Amino acid sequence: MSARRSIRNVLILAMLTAASQGHPAEPDMQVLESNVSSIEIGSHVTEMQMHALPAGARVKVLLPSYKTKVFEGPLGRSRSWGGTRGPRN
C-alpha cells in the first residue's frame, strides 16, 4: 500500500468516526427543581422536553451558560434569570 493510500484511509476513518459520534441538536440542562414526578432533580433534559409539560408543572433548570431558567406548563412558558439582575424575559 502506498503512503498516499494509507493517509487517505486514515483520513476517511477519522471522518467516519467523527460523523458517527453525533452531536445533540441542543445542549442539555440539569434539573434543579421539579414538581413533575417523571422529571427527577439532577437529571438532564432538553428544551424540547420542557415544551411538553402538563398544566401546573414547574421545572427549574441550570443552563450550560450557568444561568437558571424556569419552565411552567402548559407549553413550557419560561423565564430566565442571569446573575443578580432578576427576571429577564
* Pairing label, strands 29-34, 58-62: antiparallel
**Which of 17 and 67 is assigned the larger pLDDT?**
67
Tens of pLDDT, residues 68-81: 999 988 765 666 65
What are the boundaries of each domain within the chain?
25-88
Tens of pLDDT, residues 20-36: 555 555 668 999 999 99
Calculate what percentage of the chain has a pLDDT beyond 90. 33
pTM of the model: 0.58
> Rounded to whole angstroms, how far apart are CA atoms 41 and 83?
21
